Chain A
Amino acid sequence: MGLKRWIDAWPVYRQLTGTDPLGRGKAAQSPRSAALGSRTESADRMVHSVCPYCAVGCAQRVYVKDERVIQIEGNPDSPISRGRLCPKGSASKQLVTGPQREEHVLYRPPCGTQWQRLDLETAMDMVADRVLDARRKGWQDTDEEGRTLRRTMGLASLGGAALDNEENYLIKKLFTALGALQIENQARI
Chain B
Amino acid sequence: MGSNMAEAHPVGFQWVIEAKARGAKVIHIDPRFTRTSAHADQHVTIRAGTDIAFLGGVINHILGHDLDFREYVRAYTNASFLVNERFQDTEDLDGLFSGYDPHTAAYDASSWSYAGVTAQERPGDHAKETSEPYRHGAKGPFVEEGPGEMEADPTLEHPRCVFQVLKRHFARYTPEMVERICGVPQELFLDVCRAWTANSGRERTTALVYSVGWTQHSVGAQYIRAGSIVQLLLGNIGRPGGGIYALRGHASIQGSTDVPTLFNLLPGYLPMPDVAHEDLAGYLDTVRGPREKGFWGDADAYMVSLLKEYWGEAATAENDYCFDYMPRMNGDHGTYRTVMDMNDGKVFGYFLLGQNPAVGSAHGRLQRLGMANLDWLVVRDLAMIESASFWKDAPEVETGEIATERCRTEVFFFPAASHVEKAGTFTQTQRMLQWRDQAVAPSGDQRSELWFFYQLGLRLKERLAGSTDERDRPVQDLAWDYETEGDEPSASDVLRHMNGIDLRTGRTVDGYFDLKADGSTACGCWIYSGVYAGETNQARRRTPHTRTGPYDAEWGWTWPLNRRVLYNRASADPDGQPWSERKKLVWWDAEAGEWTGHDTPDFERTKPPHYQPAEGASGPDALSGSDAFIMMRDGKAWLFAPAGLADGPLPTHYEPHESPMRNLLYGQQANPVRKVYGRPDNPSNPAPPEAHGEVFPYVFTAARLTEHHTAGAMSRQLPYLAELQPALFVEVSPELAQERDLRHLEWAHVITSRTAVDARVVVTDRMAPLRVDDRVVHQVWMPYHWGTTGLTTGDVVNDLIGVVADPNVFIQESKVLTCDVRPGRRPRGPALLEYVADYRRRAGITPETGTRIATAGGHTERAHIESHDRPEDAS
Contacts and interface: CB of A to CB of B under 8 A. Distances in A.
Interface of A: 47-59, 62, 64, 67-69, 72, 75-82, 84-92, 94-96, 98, 100-113, 115, 118, 120, 123-134, 137-145, 147-174, 176-189
26 contacts: A52-B251, A55-B254, A77-B543, A77-B546, A80-B555, A100-B718, A100-B790, A101-B443, A102-B381, A102-B382, A104-B415, A106-B413, A108-B411, A111-B405, A127-B376, A145-B275, A150-B471, A153-B341, A154-B348, A160-B354, A162-B252, A164-B422, A164-B491, A172-B260, A176-B310, A178-B460
B714 A172 contact: no
B418 A52 contact: yes
Contacts of A105: 412-415, 445
B692 interface: no
Contacts of A174: 453, 456-457, 460, 478
A157 B414 contact: no
A50 to B, nearest CB: 5
B373 interface: no
A127 B455 CA distance: 11
B349 interface: yes
B445 A130 contact: no
A189 B440 contact: no
B161 interface: no
Contacts of B524: 169, 173
B407 A111 contact: yes
Contact of B349 (A98, A102, A112, A134): A134
A160 B335 CA distance: 13
B463 A132 contact: yes
Contact of A125 (B415, B419, B459, B543): B459
Contacts of B252: 55, 160-165, 168
Nearest to B482: A170
Contacts of A98: 717-719
A151 B328 contact: yes
B477 to A, nearest CB: 8
B434 A134 contact: no
A115 B255 CA distance: 34
Interface in B327-353: 327-330, 333-335, 338, 341-342, 346-353
Contacts of A56: 9, 11-12, 247, 428-429
Interface string B484-503: 00000101001100100000
B449 A127 contact: no
Given A110-B409, A131-B349, A79 B250 contact: no
A163 to B, nearest CB: 5
A152 to B, nearest CB: 8
Nearest to B367: A158
B259 interface: yes
B347 A107 contact: no
Contacts of B260: 160, 168, 172, 185, 187
B392 interface: yes
Nearest to A183: B261
* A78, A174, A185 — most chain B CB neighbours (10 Å): A185
Contact of A161 (B250, B310, B719): B250
A127 B236 CA distance: 51
B312 to A, nearest CB: 11
B679 interface: no
Q: Which 6 A-B pairs have the closest CB atoms?
A: A57-B428, A159-B353, A164-B424, A103-B444, A151-B327, A160-B261
Contact of A147 (B259, B275, B341, B441): B275
B333 A57 contact: no
A165 B259 contact: yes
A54 B249 contact: yes
Nearest to B248: A55
Contacts of A115: 413
